[in-house]
Amino acid sequence: MIEGAGDIDSKAVPESIRSEFGAGIRKLAVNPFDLVYAYDVERGIVFIEAPIHQRIAW
């Protein structure tokens, strides 16, 4: 799903999540969670960091 996400993911993540997982982190809404992940473009690998419940993500 993430590979095909194209531009439906978001680089707009809360500072608390960015500080925990790093600057290149992205999120994809998979209700009721935000799936927090990093994508290594050079190697074509997705690293799933954490599912974070949307109520506490912000």
Neighbours of 36 (CB within 10 A): 21
pLDDT tens digit sequence for 25-39:
888 888 899 888 888
Note the pLDDT of residue 17. 85
Calculate mean pLDDT across residues 44-53. 88
Domain parsing of the chain, residue ranges: 3-57
pLDDT at 2 over 70: no
φ/ψ (deg, to 5) at 39: -120, 120
φ/ψ (deg, to 5) at 30: -130, 85
Dihedral angle at the C-alpha atoms of 46, 47, 53, 54, nearest 10 degrees? -50
Written as six digits, the tokens of 28 are: 């994809």
pLDDT at 10 over 70: no
- pTM: predicted TM-score of the whole model, two decimal places: 0.72
Strands, DSSP E only, in the chain? 26-30, 33-40, 45-53
